[in-house]
Structure 1
Amino acid sequence: MKMIPRFAGRLLEWYRLHQRDLPWRKTRDPYRIWLSEVILQQTRVAQGLAYYERFVEHYPTVHHLAKAPIEEVLRLWQGLGYYSRARNLHAAARTISIQWAGRFPASYDELRRLKGVGDYTAAAIASFAFDEPVAVVDGNVFRVLARLYGLYDDISRTKTKHKFKALSEAHMPPQEAAAYNQAMMEFGAVQCTPQKPLCMTCPFRDDCYAAQYGKQQELPVKSKKTTKRKRYLSYRFFYRNGKLWMQERKQKDIWKGLYEPARIEAATAREMEQLLQNEAPAALWQQAQAIEQIRHLLTHQELFIDIGMLHLPPDAALPPFLKDGGDWFTPEECDALPKPIVIAQYFERHRHLLHE
């Protein structure tokens, strides 16, 4: 493979002119760099920025994050999805605070040992905070290198990740690892975008395989995504004596550690109808106010949700499935509970019903 001449120099020149003004680029603090990288996984910068600022405000150091209750961390994370990221963030913060006395591991290999820290995050922290010349490889970097060099390797495969990392590191100026990695990711995010790359103003236009042969939409190559699993969930906020019944989701599944109201779940719409008739007092379930049908998409799942609110008389008997595993919370206590974003947003829209 013939290497593109002056690649790093031209890339860094572009970066100095076009880089976005983002707060985590103004610090060498590994804690804040780590926060930004974890938050921005599977998240757009525009959305992640507000969460980053919120976390820094609540937890200015790794010790503050380590000491925070996990429920508080999950509540602050609410709306970002992939809640395992928040749980891993909290667990790793405790490790750094307790076992490392708040000192961040200063090398790629040490960082990889932290819970939830993979190749990408470890490389980002190691290069941005400690100048270790290790390449960051994310979706932006895959796209840039695949298009530039005409690489048709499937980027979902581990061996392809190693190949692209080696190629990126072959271009990396060892003394400018941080700027180079930032530039690679920024170039993919701003210039070499997924759908409409700005090829006419690209500094590598004359060297780029995809631009020369019109292959921008074919590269990079990634295995087809699996079909989303469909799930059907019916929720009811039961309200009695000034309190709402909520239950923590403890099973290893979506939304583990978050709180939700009474739930009936099924694999199909037909099964849901049968469950509502057989396992819950159907008449009671259907008396709810403000029933909404919501389609909620996750990465690998498609959720069909109906949700409503129901006032119970002070002496009303609870449905059998509500007797164990949950508790009663005031609306204010409910606000503080970490909840799936679809549940939290519904509650905000209809909490006025509690006073009617």
Structure 2
Amino acid sequence: MTRAFNFNAGPAAIPLEVLKQAQEQFVDYQGAGMSIMEMSHRSKMYEAVNDKSQSLLRELFGIPENYDVLLLQGGASTQFALLPMNLLQPGKPGAYVMTGAWADKALKEAKLVGETVVSASTEADKFMRMPTLSEIEIPGNASYLHLTSNETIGGTQFKEFPETGDVPLIADMSSDILSKPVDVSKFGVIYAGAQKNLGPSGVTLVIIRKDLVENGSKSIPAMFRYSTHAKSGSLYNTPPSFSVYMMNLVLEWIKNKGGVAQLDQINQSKTKLIYDTIDQSGGFYIGCAQPQSRSLMNITFRIQNEELEGLFVKESEKEGFVGLKGHRDVGGLRASTYNAVPLESCQALQQFMVDFQKRNG
């Protein structure tokens, strides 16, 4: 079998070692005579997987003890609504940093729940950069400040995060979670869908400070309350058991790779290959995001005309590349270089880009 050069934006690449391990255990998990998907989520065997996943997350991401680690369903899009439902207080607006499509979706959901305010926006720059920290204005009475750490469509990423004082900082880290070290203690909440850096779709990670859990709304249904899931260790209802199991394997893979700091170095090396190819192309390739905001997870770029972009996608697919067509809302080209995308795939893409320019430049 020949593996594709997978640059999909999500669901995205999963480490081959993880897939092989899951394949070996698919029918019979640790001698149970059944797969992990078939066993009760109340069994000791599954509870061990659930607990180990949370423990590995704490270890790899440096999550302090005064935070709960929740493994939920519904994707990050559900968190767009659950966050304001739990944390948005009357007379205390939710402050949002507008950086692109995902930040916009989060804001729209919050507006259905209560009062909101835009603390900063880069719409005037077509969301091709992240705001500087000095541009972010936080109301003193805000319930929280929400930002999207990495915008997959535009290919922009925060390189540093604002100091918010007593206002909880909330981050959607769906597309760069565990790709680089982060000081979790700066945040009130970090959440992420799994399907980019943590494993397959189906499970959503929520890291939330315990005081925010305790002070969350009590007037919303039990399934929507963070306190419900915190008290039950993420086993209040039937969990996405296979997705949690796969995430557990990915976390072990990250640990065996040397941890998040080591992955950060690998990710920087991977993306430098592609960005250097763009910058050294003499204008044949044009980077979309402003250099100071370039993402290490999603590289967005254009070619001189759309006809060549179509040819680039067509020829790349023949060579085994997958997922290089830009998001349907903006067009262009995009290479998503998440943790599980190997260096060899980026080297192959670099060579293809150089060869394509030679033939079409």
TM, length-normalised to structure 1: 0.28
Higher RCO by CA contacts (8 Å cutoff, separation 6 or greater):
2
